[in-house]
């Protein structure tokens, strides 16, 4: 194995790109599962094609150099998550971030995925350094389009229970997961018109 991009923890890891990385490394398994499809990365719900995207290797970086300078500055605040157990001054809290462009395909999702992976890396390694147990789901990626499809599926008139119930279960499970995650990415927010009920859940 020669590809060093096998784990979001690879930057600075001596085992990166070797068989020891994916076959024997407890940190790889914690982040990606024994198969490479699970662990904290899989629990985050990040689509497979984004699971190894980082701020350094992002394909959107070349076309969005200024945005990536801002993203790196933003990511530098992630270590503050370990200081936020009590009241935090507004100036010291980790801020929300909204990525916007008037056209699709500019790298917003890729950049958001890179930031989520950076959060995972900082949370996992920072927890271990402090003698803390890393959360099993410290971050969550919610595809708002797919989530809205589930909402529509169980709110259509005369939808059979066999269709509506699984869609409702997925919808409310995603809602609760996004609300509980310390770091949530809401991808494609505001792309489609929404009914008041869905919009209320989204704002929640």
Round the CA-based radius of gyration of the chain to a whole number and report it.
18
Average pLDDT, the chain: 87
Within-domain flag for 159: yes
Into how many domains does the chain fold? Answer: 1
For position 1, what pLDDT does the model report?
29
For position 84, what pLDDT does the model report?
64
Give the model confidence (pLDDT) of 31-73 as tens digits.
Answer: 999 888 899 999 999 999 999 999 999 999 998 888 899 999 9
Give the model confidence (pLDDT) of 140-193 as tens digits.
Answer: 999 999 999 999 999 989 889 999 999 999 999 999 999 999 999 999 987 678
Within-domain flag for 147: yes
Within-domain flag for 195: yes
Within-domain flag for 190: yes
Within-domain flag for 201: yes
What is the domain range of residue 191? 139-204
Evaluate if residue 90 carries a pLDDT over 70. no
CA-CA distance, 168 to 101, in Å (whole number)?
31
Within-domain flag for 185: yes
Within-domain flag for 108: no
Within-domain flag for 96: no
């Amino acid at each position: 194995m020669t590809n060093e991009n096998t784990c979001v923890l690879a930057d600075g890891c001596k085992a990166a790109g070797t068989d020891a990385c994916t076959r024997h490394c407890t940190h790889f398994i914690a982040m990606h599962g024994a198969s490479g499809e699970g662990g904290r990365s899989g629990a985050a719900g990040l689509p497979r094609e984004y699971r190894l995207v980082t701020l350094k290797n992002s394909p959107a970086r070349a076309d969005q150099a200024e945005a990536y300078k801002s993203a790196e500055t933003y990511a530098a605040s992630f270590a503050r998550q370990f200081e936020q157990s009590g009241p935090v001054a507004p100036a010291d809290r980790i801020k929300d971030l909204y990525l916007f462009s008037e056209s699709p395909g500019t790298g917003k999702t890729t950049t958001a995925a890179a930031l989520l992976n950076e959060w995972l890396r900082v949370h996992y390694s920072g927890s271990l350094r402090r003698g803390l147990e890393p959360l099993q789901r410290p971050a969550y990626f919610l595809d708002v389009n797919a989530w809205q499809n589930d909402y529509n599926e169980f709110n259509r008139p005369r939808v059979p229970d066999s269709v509506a119930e699984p869609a409702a279960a997925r919808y409310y499970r995603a809602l609760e997961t996004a609300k509980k995650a310390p770091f949530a990415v809401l991808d494609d927010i505001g792309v489609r018109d929404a009914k008041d009920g869905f919009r209320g859940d989204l704002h929640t």
